[in-house]
Amino acid sequence: MGADKECDGYLPGQLLIAMPGMADPRFSQSVIYLCAHNEDGAMGLVVNKLIGSLSFTELLKQMEIASDKFDSSMEIHFGGPVESGRGFVLHSTDYNSEGTIKVNSDFAVTATIDVLKSIAGGKGPANLMFALGYAGWAPGQLDSEMQNNGWLHCTADLSIVFGDDNQAKWKLAAAKMGIDLSLLTIEAGHA
């Protein structure tokens, strides 16, 4: 799925930061962790927006998974608009199962029921985020959006991705780059 650093202009393992004025309201002020980015397109998970209509405890009950040894306050993130019924766990690399895909030395993603059973049993990864759905781009689409100033990108940070303050993640990710998003404008200058 990716390497530890940018190669050939691709950005797996990076954070995408929506620019002010993002045209698509689903991605307004979004921070997306890029799980994959290559010649076939890109796939990522929004890390700063919650679903709110379903708790992780309710999800486990619906899936008939015993849940006696986990943090019942865990929330479900809106991973993106594609396949909104499919679940993904973005997590630290201390957890590994047959379905785990290691993005880089800090992050991995697993989309199997086994990871949910491990989490419910208190044997999941130390750092994790559960999301329903994902953000996806066709070949060249994300590159085009970035060239048209739709997104900034920076190195992913465990404290931003897995942090509790979802409202602050957008500004924190930009600040990591030394950018104050409140000073950016969506208007383009014309001479």
CA 130 – CA 124 distance, rounded (Å)? 12
Distances (CA, A) of 129 to 74, 92, 118, 138, 180: 8, 10, 14, 25, 26
Confidence of residue 1 (pLDDT cuts 50, 70, 90): very low
User: pTM value?
Assistant: 0.89
For the domain spanning 14-183, the CATH number is 3.40.1740.10
Confidence of residue 73 (pLDDT cuts 50, 70, 90): confident
Cβ 151 vs Cβ 131: under 8 Å: no
Decide: helix, strand or coil at residue 41: strand
CA 20 – CA 84 distance, rounded (Å)? 25
